[in-house]
Amino acid sequence: MPNEDRFRIAIADDSADVLIALKLLLKPAGFSVAEARSPRQFLGLLSNDEFDVALIDLNYTRDTTSGGEGLDLLAEIPRLDSLLPVVVMTGWGSIEIAVEAVRRGAREFVQKPWDNRTLLTILRTQAQLSRSLRVNQRLQRRNELLESPLPVNLIAESPAMRPVLDLIRRIGPSTANVLITGEHGTGKEVAARALHALSPRTARPMICVNAGSIPETLFESELFGNVRGAFTGASTDRPGRFELADQGTLFLDEIGNLPISQQAKVLRALETGEFERLGSPKLRHADVRLISATNADLTAAVATGNFREDLLFRINTVTIQLPPLRDRGEDILLLAHSFLQRYAAKYARSIEGFDTSAVEAMQAHRWPGNVRELEHVLERGVLLAQGTQITGADLGLTPAAAPQSHAAPASFNLEDNERDLIRRALDACQNNVVEAARVLGLSRSGLYRRLQKFGMV
């Protein structure tokens, strides 16, 4: 939803003076206003956009005081948006009209002339409730991922994640090795589990290894196993992770930290399925699908001699690039509600949601630690919350300064940079023009015009 930091309100009133007065009140108070002068125009607004709250008059024809037009409009609104809260307003109020308005779905009834403070309180309350209801609805739609089928814990609805989800659905059922790249905390293991769940190996285990957390002296033993007496402290035979993943999936996280001394052995195991336990000459076999993850530039590591080029070719049959959380604005509240439910259950806390300050803090934060940081922040919020809602203070987020870059672009030519951006968007979206246009913030026709301009079609 655009302008996530401002509540979006649709107003219907036939008086130009009333519309001007409402805009002067609402815009400084944090509302984005769309207006209509008739019921037909108002329904047109709802057909083309989504709003947090509606404010409608009950009378639109001169010298009419029955409220019939507004009541008929009120009955039509749920057909276009069943979650939109409607506040009705009229200069000809009566108990009968108010009761009928509520019966037809109005949340509140306000009489003209209105009290500014009261009206703002009503509209803010209804708008916040509307946003919470929409978030809950999207969370319920996550169950559709089971039919996709993708694991239910892969929460993603943002445009930046759509190419990722599509790629996971297409390559998950294969046995191809996959390299997942992205910043720390972007959910690389979650994506790996989604790939495993879609594969023919889903009945077998997915074994995880963090190459960055294992000392180099123990890495061979951890990955391939050892026999008793292979080294000091090796009191029993022990299978390694590669052997445990036989017929399943091996997830090798932080593969950029794989010791150069072990890379040839990993390459051999991937190419032939053969390996030996440390301290034993016995040849063993395992059929493993490898999913790797890294936040490092492996191509640069190859150039410096820290990573084998032939191993890179073996592990990146398909590469999936996960976007950072700051580029997934639509997913922040979805993930936050999921973590809220998890930790509220874990710590037996009766917390129902977030107040406005918490929502604003989460949307303004840059999330350098990505989804992992969001999870930790929500765990803290659940522990510190004193009421039924988490506040901005409970989250403990501090505004981060926008990163500054002094590096000059490769080219100052506007057309060159525009052409490159379009090409990268098309690559990310697998040449799906509709998706690329959405990612770039263009209409489909606008993107086609640029493709023709640059001779890309």
pLDDT tens digits, 353-379: 999 999 999 999 999 999 999 999 999
Tokens representing residue 164 in the block: 């990722």
- pLDDT (tens digit per residue) in 290-327: 999 999 999 999 999 999 999 999 999 999 999 999 99
| % residues pLDDT > 90 (the chain) | 51
Identify the DSSP state of 296: S
137 pLDDT tier (thresholds 50, 70, 90): low
**Which pLDDT score is estimated for 4?**
52
Q: How many residues does the chain have?
A: 457
Tens-digit pLDDT profile for residues 6-59 = 899 999 998 899 999 999 999 999 999 999 999 999 998 888 788 999 999 888
pLDDT grade for 146, boundaries at 50, 70 and 90 = very low
Assigned token pair, 188: 């690389």
pLDDT band at 411 (very low <50, low <70, confident <90, very high): low
Rounded CA-CA distance 33/6 in Å is 10
Q: How far apart are CA 91 and CA 80, in angstroms?
A: 27
The predicted pLDDT at position 366 comes to: 92
Q: Which residues, in sequence order, are bridge partners of residue 276?
A: 283
pLDDT class of 155 with cuts at 50, 70, 90: confident
Q: Is the peptide bond before 2 cis (omega within 30 degrees of 0)?
A: no
Which residue pairs, CB below 8 angstroms and at least 24 apart, start in 215-222?
Answer: 216/259, 216/261, 216/262, 219/258, 219/259, 219/262, 220/262, 220/265, 220/278, 221/278
pLDDT tens digits, one per residue of 244-264: 899 999 999 999 989 898 999
Q: How far apart are CA 31 and CA 33, in angstroms?
A: 6
Does 141 have pLDDT greater than 60? no
